[in-house]
Amino acid sequence: MKPALSGQVADADIRLLRIFRTVVERGGFAAAEADLNISRAAISTAMSDLEQRLSLRLCQRGRSGFSLTEEGREVYAYSLQLLSALENFRTQVNSLHAHLKGELNIGITDNLVTMPQMFITDAIGAIKARGPEVMINIRMTPPAEIEVAVLDGRLHLGVVPVIKALPGLNYLPLYSETSQLYCSHDHPLYGKTPIEDKELRQQDVVAAAYAQTDEALQHYQSLHVSASATDREGIAFLILTGRYLGFLPTHYAERWVREGRMQSVVPEQRQFTTEFAAITRKGKRPNLILETYLELLQHTIDTRIKD
């Protein structure tokens, strides 16, 4: 049999695999257009070229939507390993020259941009000032996915809530985030005081459908949970219907509170704190960009604490 991939893996093959990775991660050709900055037709041609090069059918596309074949899922997994190895090679060679050139891949939990302590943002600004050619790639994904991606090398660094420390990760403490119970201005409890605990327990509450601290879970156990959301934005959507109470970080809810569209409910009793940390993989290979970023991040934290 003729080998499915004959000859050496060339630059053109790497380009096709990068396009394939983006299409998979964005969920289709249309969604990948903006990231790749090429037309849908060009993406389709690239996918056909890759399938021909590998002698494999990688995906189904058409009116029914985009989906990977079994072979496509395996090729995607292998391509992540290859592209990660190439990036590791580039960063290691760069470290020999002490020149900041390459990628920094960061995964961040949703809705942290409104945190007043802008440690991550300021450190990114600092590394771009030091190395203008560094490409910053940010992915907004759930904490569990960020942890896995850092462990397998797809992400250099992640920003996640510390629910349970994993043995394969290093943790750099960043923020303490306070969350309170909120209702909208259309809710019966808005503006009401005092609020009896019995009345509070009768209200519909939206719960977070992602990992929470034990302290947070204890609050939900004593309330009437009748809805869930996979992220804080989803919780805010339901609170703003006027039908639900829900916990939100105070920095995230501030805009609606300021506009008179939300208020906290018995905050002295219904609040909890979540610690956030920057995570990196233990035993990682030398990476000048990551090490420089971690130094700048630590310096930013130390400077703010002194101030």
**Which pLDDT score is estimated for 1?**
44
- For 148-157, b/e burial (b = at least 16 CB within 10 A) is bbbbebbbbb
- For 117-147, b/e burial (b = at least 16 CB within 10 A) is bebbebbbebbeeebeebeeeeeebbbebbb
Tell me the average confidence (pLDDT) per consecutive run of 10 residues in the chain, 307 residues long. 65 92 91 89 92 91 83 93 88 68 90 80 92 91 92 93 92 93 96 92 94 91 94 95 97 95 95 94 84 93 75
Task: Phi first, then psi: give them for residue 37, nearest 5 degrees.
Answer: 60, 35
**Which pLDDT score is estimated for 98?**
60
Which residues fall within 8 angstroms of residue 175, CB to CB, at 6 or more apart? 112, 115, 117, 119, 275, 276
- Dmax over CA atoms of the chain, in Å, equals 79
**For residues 280 and 294, is the Cβ–Cβ distance under 8 A?**
yes
265 token code pair: 């409910």
What domains lie within the chain, and their CATH numbers?
A: 11-82 (1.10.10.10), 100-307 (3.40.190.290)
**For residues 225 and 278, is the Cβ–Cβ distance under 8 A?**
no
pTM over 0.85: no
**Which pLDDT score is estimated for 4?**
61
276 token code pair: 């956030």
**Which pLDDT score is estimated for 5?**
67
